[in-house]
Amino acid sequence: DIVMTQSPDSLAVSLGERATINCKSSQSVLHSANNKNYLAWYQQKQGQPPKLLIYWASTRESGVPNRISGSGSGTDFTLTISSLQAEDVAVYYCQQYYHLPSFGGGTKVEIK
Amino acid sequence: QVQLVQSGAEVKKPGASVKVSCKASGYTFANYVIHWVRQAPGQRLEWMGWINAGNGNIKYSKKFQGRVTFTRDTSASTVYMDLSSLRSEDTAVYYCARDKERQPLMYYLDYWGQGTLVTVSS
């Protein structure tokens, strides 16, 4: 099984500042056949289901603001919110789908 | 618009079974796979398996195999998750979610139900 580890567990960022969330997989999720990273990111606000933000490590889902971006390859990935807005307060999860899906432990983003 | 609407909260005793429904609308039901994911209090999201709403094919996570059953009713555009031999550790919010891709299955999930809280307590 692929284990996903996120860091930090939580972070507090001022409005308008950058938030950076890290995700590390226990083995590479880069598929050599298509050179794609099998990695997604979700946002979960309090009392709501998760919302898909990013897939293939960097492809933004329709409707996701371009201040939210994903990067990385192999085993190390990053979700960046370039200019934090109040509506970005949530828990963020990474998920690999290289093998049967597994999720990271989540990173809680708050306003400083 | 695409919607997945789940059945309401349940309270069950240890050893009992629970059946959660997930009704789909706003798209062609048979064209997509529905996954089940659960979230226990303070725990990470946990994938349970999927059912192909069209042909009925199923895959279960090894962790739940033997204890979970997925079914579907195409006439009602509804899928069901049945979990048996419940224990306290099964207390969680259970979500259904649609695979974003039709073919091949990709395991990233674009629409989610609102969640169903299942509480297992004596």
SS3 (DSSP) at A82: coil
Q: Is A56 exposed, middle or buried (0-12, 13-18, 19+ CB in 10 A)?
A: middle
Query: In a mutagenesis test of the B interface, which of A53, A56, A97, A98 is the best target, namely the one with the most B β-carbons within 10 Å?
Result: A97
Residues from B contacting A (CB-CB < 8 Å) are: 35, 44-47, 61, 95, 97, 100, 106-110, 112-115
Residue pLDDT, tens place only, A89-108: 999 999 999 999 999 999 99
| Residue ranges of chain B whose pLDDT lies below 70 | none
Determine contact: A95 vs chain B, CB below 8 A.
yes
Determine contact: A77 vs chain B, CB below 8 A.
no
Nearest to A49 among B61, B106, B112 (CB): B112
Residue pLDDT, tens place only, B76-106: 999 999 999 999 999 999 999 999 988 788 8
Mean pLDDT in residue range A27-43? 97
pLDDT band at A31 (very low <50, low <70, confident <90, very high): very high
Mean pLDDT in residue range A61-88? 98
Mean pLDDT in residue range A1-21? 97
Q: Measure B7 CA to nearest chain A CA, in Å.
A: 14
- List b or e across A18-51, with b for residues whose CB sees 16 or more CB atoms inside 10 angstroms: ebebbbbbeebbbeeeeebbbbbbbbbeeeebbb
Q: How far is CA A100 from the centre of its chain?
A: 18
pLDDT surpasses 80 at A37 = yes
